[in-house]
Amino acid sequence: MLHAARSGSMLVAGAVVIGTLAVPAHAQQAAKPTQLPTRDRLAEGWPTLPLSMNGGRWGEVIRVHVHSDGNIWVFHRCFNIVPPGRATCVGRGESNPPILEFDPSGKLLTSFGAGLFAYPHGFTLDHDGNLWVSDVNDEATILGLSAKNADGAVKGQEVLKLSPAGKVLMMLGKMGVSGNGPDTFDRPTGIAVAQNGDIFVSDGHHPNKHENARIMKFAPDGRFIKSWGKLGAAPGDFDEPHDIFLGGSQNRVYVADRRNSRIQVFDQDGNFIAAWPQFGVPSSVFVGKDDTIYVGASYKDPTAKKGEVRGIVIGNVKDGALKAFIPDPADLDSVIAGTSASGIGADDAGNIFAADVGTHNLRKYLKVR
């Protein structure tokens, strides 16, 4: 699979758990998310986009990650909003780079990546500061435009490792080729990198031709190690693993199993530990060093507009307890497609960053002490 670099504490009853994260079977039904405390304040006007970039307006923003130096990296869809919910970078040109770096004040520091992607999705940074990105495109033509690169390969179906300056260092998968073997993906959604350099990829954005719904593990040099999971609802199976994160004090693997409406937890060998439905329908997941978990999610609520509430759920991975909820500030009538908080991250101080696909925004929340 390695290719040249060319181109208040409340729990939901019924959580499936084993091991040290066990939750009592008689755990009390959680209150609605809107009844949980809200602890954070939206930072207005953050960050600052230069007017030279799409007039200073965001398009679909898919992921955000805070580096250990405090800078914030953003993966977005080239300031585009079409097709809605899956905006393309094809044909967007050099003035619309999909990777941006900001300092904590919101000042733009770096931008690059134009021409590399068709449909940006997964994104993370490793411990050496390298970037890992995925492209879930599976179409040769988008909006009448060719999605092929200069070598004639259709952009998509791969994971790229990039230097902090944007140089392609490694490719996992085969660009433009879908599959369900050890050397191909079918719409890889997210990437997580362990301290020792092992790489974890969540594979199987819905829909995909091979019905992939799995986690794949690779050695630091790109050698395939193993995979686990299949399409299904049983513990350890997946139905659109939309995001993946490796972290917390126990260095576990957390998967936003979106269409199964749960967060699943594994050790780094793929052994199942827990399945948590109390976090709603998750699109993104991040776990801090202090074991705080942040999930961008939606909940069914027949009393709410469009029958759901959306927001950021905050909890603790030691016991799965829910601690707080930050409601989405957007009017759902203005959301054309996709969830907000499709990407989420936090810094060591507990400030939260949310990447919005549906509302075309990047938000920062300041932790209220």
Residue 90's region, left for phi above 0, alpha for psi from -120 to 50, else beta, is beta
Q: Strands (DSSP E) along 187-317, which ranges?
A: 188-193, 199-203, 214-218, 224-228, 241-247, 252-257, 262-266, 272-276, 281-287, 292-300, 308-316
Which of the four pLDDT bands, split at 50, 70 and 90, describes residue 33?
confident
- If you average pLDDT over residues 333-355, what whole number do you get? 88
pLDDT at 32: 77
Instruction: Please tell me the total number of residues recorded for the chain in this structure.
Output: 369
In the chain, the amino acid numbered 319 is: D
Q: Are 121 and 258 contacting, i.e. CB atoms less than 8 angstroms apart?
A: no
Q: What is the per-residue pLDDT across 115-138, written as a single tens digit (0 to 9) for each? A: 999 999 999 999 999 999 999 999
Contacts of 264 (CB under 8 A, 6+ apart): 235, 236, 238, 254, 255, 257, 272, 274, 275, 276
Give residue 3's Cα distance to chain centre.
Answer: 24
Which of the four pLDDT bands, split at 50, 70 and 90, describes residue 335?
confident
Q: What is the mean pLDDT of the chain?
A: 91
Q: What is the per-residue pLDDT across 55-73, written as a single tens digit (0 to 9) for each? A: 999 999 999 999 999 999 9
Fold type of domain 2-7+11-367:
Neuraminidase (2.120.10)
Closest-CA residue to 75 (of 158, 149, 132):
132
Q: What is the per-residue pLDDT across 91-107, written as a single tens digit (0 to 9) for each? A: 999 999 999 999 999 99
Beta bridge partners of 178: 185
pTM: predicted TM-score of the whole model, two decimal places: 0.93
* Greater pLDDT, 26 or 274: 274
Q: Are 62 and 354 contacting, i.e. CB atoms less than 8 angstroms apart?
A: no
pLDDT at 119: 98
Q: Are 365 and 43 contacting, i.e. CB atoms less than 8 angstroms apart?
A: yes
% the chain with pLDDT above 70: 90
Residue 313 burial class via C-beta count within 10 angstroms: exposed 0-12, middle 13-18, buried 19 and up: buried
Is it the case that residue 332 has pLDDT exceeding 90?
no
DSSP assignment of 145-201: EE-B-TTSPBS-SEEEEE-TT--EEEEEEBTTBB-SSTT-BSSEEEEEE-TT--EEE
Q: What is the per-residue pLDDT across 299-330, written as a single tens digit (0 to 9) for each? A: 988 888 888 999 999 999 999 999 999 999 98
Give residue 287's Cα distance to chain centre.
Answer: 12
Q: How far apart are CA 360 and CA 352, in angstroms?
A: 17
pLDDT at 357: 94
Q: Are 77 and 62 contacting, i.e. CB atoms less than 8 angstroms apart?
A: yes
**Structural domain spans, the chain:** 2-7+11-367
Tokens linked to 138: 């599976």
Q: How far apart are CA 118 and CA 115, in angstroms?
A: 8
